[in-house]
Structure 1
Amino acid sequence: MLDLNSDKSIYIQIAEVIENEILLGNLKEGDQAPSTNQFAKVYQINPATAGKGLNLLVEDGILFKKRGLGMFVSEGARKNILEKRQESFFKEILPEIIKEVERLEIPTEKIIKFIEEHKGGDNND
């Protein structure tokens, strides 16, 4: 789902929507990705903006173009997305979490216990 009020550019959000669909298994290798016109119609955005997001994924090797047919999920796309997002997690997100853990003086054991209890969506919230 796109957040048109977000600080994040719409075309980047479009790329993330496609990546998320691949990670969830809703789009598999060889499947056709939604078209720029489909994105434009559903989200009421300019087709060029949607195209920019899809082209980002082409540049990253996540999608490939079939002339006259559209864009399709590349072989190894899921693996590439996982590697890219894991690298981002360890370089950008986790260091910020660790800083907050230290500020709040949360013991490492408590963090590990929380992760183990909530890992895999098996939480009882």
Structure 2
Amino acid sequence: MRAPFEQDKPIYVQIREKIEDQIINDQLKEGDQAPSTNQLVNFYKINHATVTKGVNQLVEEEILYKKRGIGMFVTLGAKDKLIQKRKATFVDDYVRKLVREADKLGITESEVVDYIKHVKGRDKE
């Protein structure tokens, strides 16, 4: 069963992120052929233009490249580029907010680190 798409995010963005995740998780390696837009349309049962928009963003960001008449492939260095992009997003989306909230509550840096270690330890169980 396919996971449903999130309601709060455009589907083309979610398609792009699914491909990015496959690259980051080594399901798609640099130089590998990526799924075609037709394969993605058939798999997810969504509009061709939606898939094309997400895939084209990856081409514009030089994560994928097209070989005319053959398909799309993962660019060399794509995984590293995606990891760096995701790290920057992580800092902006989570760390900055965490630090601001910790400051409001008077939580010290060492307390924040202790909380993180506690949560990470609990997640491993």
Q: TM-score, normalised by structure 2?
A: 0.84
Matched pairs, number: 123
Instruction: Report the counterpart of residue 34 of structure 2 in structure 1.
Output: 33
Higher mean displacement: 54-63 or 33-42? 33-42
Structure 1 Cα separation of the partners of residues 94 and 26 of structure 2: 24
Counterpart AA for 1:7? D
* Alignment pair present for 1:56 and 2:50: no
Give unpaired runs (5+ residues) of structure 1: none
Structure 2 Cα separation of the partners of residues 9 and 78 of structure 1: 23
Q: SS where residue 27 of structure 1 aligns?
A: coil
Q: SS where residue 16 of structure 1 aligns?
A: helix
Counterpart AA for 1:82? I
Structure 2 Cα separation of the partners of residues 53 and 34 of structure 1: 12
Q: SS where residue 61 of structure 1 aligns?
A: coil
Residue identity over aligned pairs, in percent, reads 43
Q: SS where residue 124 of structure 2 aligns?
A: coil
Instruction: Report the counterpart of residue 75 of structure 1 in structure 2.
Output: 76
Structure 2 Cα separation of the partners of residues 103 and 41 of structure 1: 49
Whether the 8 Å contact between 1:31 and 1:73 is mirrored in structure 2 is: yes
* Cα drift, residue 34 of structure 1: 1.1
Give unpaired runs (5+ residues) of structure 2: none
Whether the 8 Å contact between 2:5 and 2:14 is mirrored in structure 1 is: no
1:13-24 alignment, distance < 5 Å? 13-24=14-25
1:40-119 alignment, distance < 5 Å? 40-116=41-117, 118=120
Whether the 8 Å contact between 1:2 and 1:43 is mirrored in structure 2 is: no
* Cα drift, residue 65 of structure 1: 0.3
Q: TM-score, normalised by structure 1?
A: 0.84
Structure 2 Cα separation of the partners of residues 100 and 41 of structure 1: 44
Instruction: Report the counterpart of residue 10 of structure 2 in structure 1.
Output: 9
